[in-house]
């Protein structure tokens, strides 16, 4: 059996069929998720972005039909996850976020902010208005061209501080990636120290796993119970959210301030996956069987939703006796 097939079996074995947690004997169950949408561009050539390839006449022949199929594919995933809050990376602009929300069956509001990224890709936050009420939104600069989206609000009446970020890719020098990651950490740590009521959640495509040096030197070393030596819970489990060259890597993560949980709470997390999100092997590219079904491989159109799988955490609080 091929190595990536073994990893896929492990991945599927670790994960529930759906994100929604059973309420059981818990008063409140909330869920937070994150997804990298892999270049969710519209088909219009923007004068401000380097998006020429994602147009009908561009090298990727990005048509309205392909755009709508991608929207439908991502919307299906987000509807199936049914999380209360979802961070998104690699969205081109507010228009594509609005199109995505309008495509979904579930009812979500959204927050979008433009970043300085040269590719013209932004970040966004989707949320259920009956569960989460934002009251403060800003962008925070790091040493990279991708700013952090900070949203403070009330999740089921309790304060929560959300940081959404897309880290520089691994083609960048380690020192520059570390500097950017430490910039993110300073934001998170200052929020934790600013108020006893602050409860911080960091989510994003960090382009590194919790075991990688760039994360261990910032958020701390993760122990076998999923907590770092700096007080961050790292509950996402699974073989990985991104696959390359026969390896699964947990690049997409959600780190939770330990203050978010107490003795009467539980937290769990994983990589969300269903079979329709994976390449089936029916194409000529059989070596990618079981990988996330991506939209493009280079300039070759494959028709999937994204090259990343989404991640999630479920938080249960207020145990009933």
Token pair for 129: 């208005």
* Parallel, antiparallel or unpaired: strands 132-140 and 122-127: unpaired
Token pair for 223: 């122990």
The phi-psi region of residue 24 (left if phi > 0; otherwise alpha if psi is between -120 and 50; otherwise beta) is left
Could you tell me where the DSSP H helices lie in the chain? 3-14, 64-81, 94-103, 174-194, 213-216
**Domain 3-14+31-319 is in which class?**
alpha beta
Q: What is the dihedral angle through the alpha carbons of 275, 278, 279, 282, rounded to the nearest 10 degrees?
A: 10
Pair 250, 234: CB distance under 8 Å: no
Q: Where are the domains of the chain?
A: 3-14+31-319
* Parallel, antiparallel or unpaired: strands 85-91 and 26-40: parallel
How many Å is the maximal CA-CA distance in the chain? 63
> What letter would DSSP give residue 144?
S
Q: What is the pTM of this model?
A: 0.91
Tens-level pLDDT at each residue, the chain (321 residues): 333 333 443 444 344 434 444 446 777 889 999 999 999 999 999 877 778 999 999 999 999 999 999 999 999 999 999 999 999 999 999 999 999 999 999 999 999 999 999 888 999 999 999 999 999 999 999 888 899 999 999 999 999 999 999 999 989 899 999 999 999 999 999 999 999 899 999 999 999 999 999 999 999 999 988 999 999 999 999 999 999 988 999 999 999 998 888 777 899 999 999 999 999 865 556 678 899 999 999 999 999 999 999 999 999 987 655
């Amino acid at each position: 059996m091929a190595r990536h097939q073994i990893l896929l079996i492990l991945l599927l074995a670790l994960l529930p069929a759906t994100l929604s947690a059973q309420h059981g004997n818990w008063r409140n169950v909330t869920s937070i998720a994150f997804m990298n949408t892999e270049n969710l561009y519209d088909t219009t050539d923007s004068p401000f972005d380097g998006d020429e390839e994602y147009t009908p006449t561009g090298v990727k022949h990005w048509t309205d039909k392909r755009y709508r199929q991608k929207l439908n594919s991502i919307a299906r995933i987000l509807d199936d996850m049914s999380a209360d809050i979802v961070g998104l990376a690699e969205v081109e602009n507010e228009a594509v976020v609005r199109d995505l929300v309008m495509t979904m069956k579930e009812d979500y509001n959204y927050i979008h902010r433009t970043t300085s990224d040269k590719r013209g890709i932004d970040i966004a936050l989707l949320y259920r208005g009956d569960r989460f009420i934002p009251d403060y939104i800003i962008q925070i600069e790091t040493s990279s061209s991708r700013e952090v989206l900070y949203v403070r609000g009330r999740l089921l009446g309790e304060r929560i501080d959300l940081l959404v970020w897309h880290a520089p890719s691994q083609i960048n020098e380690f020192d520059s990636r570390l500097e950017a990651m430490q910039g993110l950490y300073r934001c998170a740590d200052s929020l934790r120290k600013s108020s006893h009521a602050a409860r911080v959640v960091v989510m994003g495509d960090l382009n590194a796993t919790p075991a990688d040096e760039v994360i261990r030197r910032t958020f701390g070393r993760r122990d076998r119970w999923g907590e770092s030596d700096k007080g961050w819970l790292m509950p996402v489990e699974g073989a990985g959210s991104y696959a390359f060259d026969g390896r699964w890597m947990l690049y997409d993560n959600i780190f939770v301030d330990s203050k978010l949980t107490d003795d009467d709470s539980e937290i769990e997390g994983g990589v969300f996956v269903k079979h329709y999100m994976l390449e089936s092997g029916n194409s000529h590219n059989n070596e990618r069987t079981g990988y996330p079904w991506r939209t493009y491989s280079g300039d070759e159109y494959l028709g999937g939703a994204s090259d990343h799988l989404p991640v999630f955490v479920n938080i249960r609080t207020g145990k009933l006796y």
